[in-house]
Amino acid sequence: MKSRRRGVTLVIYGWYDSQPGTLAWVFPSLRAALSAVRAMRNAIRWLIVEGKSALEGEVDIEALRRAGRVLVERGVQG
């Protein structure tokens, strides 16, 4: 899979309890990013995008979706 070779970026944009804002980390694989987000129990809205992205501050989640870059997404609506 192409994204595995290029890495992925985990973007957490919703938190339970604390609200540190949008945070993003680059991982070498989708599997590594999924393991990391499982360890962050207070992350309630997150997505993983293909490629190594420098995402900071206000991230346009809708633009990432429209561009087809989202590989996996989980979130609590409301």
pLDDT 10s per residue in the chain (78 long)?
444 457 999 999 888 887 778 888 999 999 999 999 999 888 999 999 988 776 666 788 888 889 888 999 998 554
Domains held by the chain: number: 1
pLDDT attached to residue 30: 95
pLDDT attached to residue 8: 94
pTM for this one? 0.80
pLDDT attached to residue 55: 65
Q: How far apart are CA 20 and CA 62, in angstroms?
A: 20
pLDDT attached to residue 76: 56
Segments forming the whole domain that contains residue 17: 2-74
Sheet holding 70-74, edge to edge: 23-27, 8-15, 43-50, 70-74
